[in-house]
């Protein structure tokens, strides 16, 4: 007899999670609460209500979390210019801590003693969901069906549906993509099928959010993004909410062929995996944020942030958003953004994002010092001689003691 009385399931309404609902009811003999999040995935989430009701679910949560997602997760991450392994803008990774948070909050609201998810035992998402859950509710029980059951393919899932009379019309009417896909306001990802061969080029019709750079307009698009304390707040002079900002930049970027990447990444569980991602709005925001920081951040503050970023990216990718170290790093990052205010002008053209202008009331750029013309004494070039000699002192001493590079060649 299971000790689980009620479980909150992260429910998409698709085949896998519909099977999980029935499986939880059968295997654990427990009440199931479903939670469906609208993170801007571009598909209707309300139909999940009827599907859950058809499975006998009485407590159904369907929530629009788009603004919270961008404001409290994407924007803080982008203040750090976060990129994992040089290319991945962490679109899936950053959504998981929010879902974990709401799973736990709903468990507390409904008196549930367990949560459940549909992530497989091979991927990163199981880690992200569960690390978040344990950080927020240490004693919660987590049920991961893919690590327990013997349903190992779409065919076995369909057979289970037939046996248990689970309606699956909703998953078979539309042509199913051969790829495993995940989408939210920040990105859409593609894995599986022919992408499992890292030598094979992705099919042209796989991409959904962007045109190919070759098919993008022949005329460049210019935009201006306004920043306050490191966050984008206006587009071409119009104030936009966080979610609207990202949604609008996705559209503009996608029309200009921006944001496609094809990478092989290192998963936390140990394997390498090939994935393709479309992140048009995020790619634009990343470039713009670095541009506004370039004139508002002190050199050493900027370099310290850059040194921290790979660690911060790994923390998010591996699922440690709710950790003490991430919170400590976030405090430092956010402090650095106090004066990151101003406007960046960008040129979008056939997959490229070019910075063509930046200005700020907090700019540290001093043209009277940096000029190649007469600086009227603002900078004394003679000072550079002593500066160079002092920086060379340790190397000069080493060379005098026989440790020079030319000495070693003898």
pLDDT in tens, 80-112: 999 999 999 999 999 999 999 999 999 999 999
Q: What is the pLDDT of residue 368?
A: 85
As a whole number, the mean pLDDT across the chain is 93
Q: What is the pLDDT of residue 284?
A: 98
What average pLDDT does this structure show over 57-69? Answer: 97
Task: Report phi then psi at 94, rounded to 5.
Answer: -75, -15
Single out the residue of 55, 62, 7 nearest to residue 31, CA to CA.
7
| CA separation for the pair 288, 286 (Å, rounded) | 5
Portion of the chain with pLDDT greater than 90, in percent: 81
Would you call 30 helix, strand, or coil by DSSP? coil
Beta strand residue intervals within 4-113, DSSP E: 6-10, 31-38, 60-64
> Higher pLDDT residue, 323 or 44?
323
Q: According to the annotation, is 124 in a ligand binding site?
A: yes
Residue 176 has pLDDT above 90, yes or no: no
Q: According to the annotation, is 227 in a ligand binding site?
A: no
Q: According to the annotation, is 34 in a ligand binding site?
A: no
Q: According to the annotation, is 15 in a ligand binding site?
A: yes
Q: What is the pLDDT of residue 125?
A: 95
Residue 133 has pLDDT above 90, yes or no: yes
Residue 169 has pLDDT above 90, yes or no: no
Residue 287 has pLDDT above 50, yes or no: yes
CATH number of 6-73+89-176: 3.40.50.620
Single out the residue of 190, 340, 344 nearest to residue 276, CA to CA.
190
Residue 220 has pLDDT above 70, yes or no: yes
What average pLDDT does this structure show over 37-47? Answer: 90
Q: According to the annotation, is 88 in a ligand binding site?
A: yes
Portion of the chain with pLDDT greater than 70, in percent: 97
Do 278 and 260 touch, CB atoms closer than 8 A?
A: yes
Beta strand residue intervals within 49-152, DSSP E: 60-64, 114-116, 141-143
Q: Percent helix, strand and coil across the chain, each rounded to 5?
A: 45, 20, 35
Instruction: Name all contacts of 52-56 with Cβ < 8 Å and 24+ positions apart.
Output: 52/11, 52/13, 52/21, 54/167, 55/18, 55/21, 55/22, 55/25, 55/166, 56/25
Residue 339 has pLDDT above 70, yes or no: yes
Q: According to the annotation, is 37 in a ligand binding site?
A: yes
C-alpha distance from residue 236 to each of 217, 249, 391, 405 (Å): 20, 11, 45, 54
Residue 72 has pLDDT above 80, yes or no: yes
Tokens representing 151 are 């349903």
Q: According to the annotation, is 299 in a ligand binding site?
A: no
Q: Is 16 a residue of the active site? A: yes
Which range among 141-155, 252-266, 343-357 shows the weakest confidence by mean pLDDT?
141-155
Do 57 and 21 touch, CB atoms closer than 8 A?
A: yes
Find the Cα–Cα–Cα–Cα dihedral 267, 200, 89, 232, rounded to 10°: -170
| CA separation for the pair 65, 185 (Å, rounded) | 10
State the catalytic residue, choosing from 180, 234, 294, 363. Answer: 180
Q: How confident is the model at residue 172 (pLDDT cuts 50, 70, 90)?
A: very low
What average pLDDT does this structure show over 358-372? Answer: 91
Q: According to the annotation, is 10 in a ligand binding site?
A: yes
Token look-up 């070693």 returns 408
Q: According to the annotation, is 323 in a ligand binding site?
A: no
Q: How confident is the model at residue 407 (pLDDT cuts 50, 70, 90)?
A: low
Q: According to the annotation, is 17 in a ligand binding site?
A: yes
| CA separation for the pair 6, 19 (Å, rounded) | 17
Q: Model confidence over 136-149: pLDDT tens digits?
A: 999 999 999 999 99
What average pLDDT does this structure show over 195-223? Answer: 96
Do 210 and 257 touch, CB atoms closer than 8 A?
A: yes
Give the dihedral sign, CA 100/101/102/107. Answer: positive
Q: Is 125 a residue of the active site? A: yes
For 181-297+339-359, which CATH class? alpha beta
State the catalytic residue, choosing from 66, 79, 96, 358. Answer: 96
Residue 171 has pLDDT above 50, yes or no: no
The CA-CA-CA angle for residues 269, 271, 272, to 5°, reads 130
Q: What is the pLDDT of residue 403?
A: 86
DSSP 401: I
| CA separation for the pair 35, 102 (Å, rounded) | 8
Q: How confident is the model at residue 223 (pLDDT cuts 50, 70, 90)?
A: very high
Q: Are strands 272-278 and 188-191 parallel, antiparallel or unpaired?
A: antiparallel
Q: What is the pLDDT of residue 332?
A: 98
DSSP 403: I
Q: How many CB atoms lie within 10 A of CB 206?
A: 16
Per domain, the residue ranges of the chain are 6-73+89-176, 181-297+339-359
Residue 170 has pLDDT above 60, yes or no: no
């Amino acid at each position: 007899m299971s000790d689980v009385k009620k479980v909150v399931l992260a429910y998409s309404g698709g085949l896998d999670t519909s099977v999980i609902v029935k499986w939880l009811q059968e295997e654990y003999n427990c009440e199931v609460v479903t939670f469906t999040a609208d993170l801007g995935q571009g598909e209707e989430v309300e139909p999940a209500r009827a599907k859950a009701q058809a499975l006998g679910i009485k407590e159904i949560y369907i929530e629009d979390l788009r603004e919270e997602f961008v404001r409290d997760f994407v924007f803080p991450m982008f203040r750090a210019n976060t990129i994992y392994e040089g290319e991945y803008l962490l679109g899936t990774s950053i959504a998981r801590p929010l879902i974990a948070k709401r799973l736990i909050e709903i468990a507390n609201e409904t008196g549930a003693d367990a949560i459940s998810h549909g992530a497989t035992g091979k991927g990163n998402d199981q880690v992200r969901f569960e690390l978040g859950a344990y950080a927020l509710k240490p004693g919660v029980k987590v049920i991961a069906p893919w690590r327990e059951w013997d349903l190992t393919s779409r065919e076995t899932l369909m057979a289970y549906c037939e046996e248990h009379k689970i309606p699956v019309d909703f998953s078979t009417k539309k042509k199913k993509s051969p790829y495993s896909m995940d989408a939210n306001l920040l990105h859409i990802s593609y894995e599986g099928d022919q992408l499992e061969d890292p030598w094979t080029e992705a099919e042209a019709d796989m991409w959904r959010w962007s045109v190919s750079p070759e098919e993008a307009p022949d005329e460049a698009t210019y935009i201006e993004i306004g920043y306050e304390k490191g966050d984008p707040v206006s587009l071409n002079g119009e104030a936009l909410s966080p979610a609207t900002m990202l949604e609008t930049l996705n559209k503009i970027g996608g029309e200009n062929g921006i944001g496609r990447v094809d990478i092989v990444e290192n998963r936390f569980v140990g394997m390498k995996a090939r994935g393709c991602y479309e992140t048009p709005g995020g790619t634009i925001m990343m470039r713009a944020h670095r541009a506004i920081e370039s004139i508002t951040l002190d050199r050493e503050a900027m370099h310290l942030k850059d040194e921290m970023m790979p660690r911060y990216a790994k923390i998010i990718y591996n699922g440690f958003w709710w950790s003490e170290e991430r919170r400590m790093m976030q405090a430092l990052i956010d402090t650095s953004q106090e004066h990151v205010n101003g406007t960046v002008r960008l040129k979008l053209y056939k997959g490229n994002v070019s910075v063509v202008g930046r200005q700020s009331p907090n700019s540290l750029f001093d043209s009277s010092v940096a000029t190649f013309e007469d600086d009227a004494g603002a900078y004394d070039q003679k000072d550079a001689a002593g500066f160079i000699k002092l920086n060379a002192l340790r190397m000069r001493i080493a060379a005098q003691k026989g440790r020079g590079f030319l000495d070693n060649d003898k």
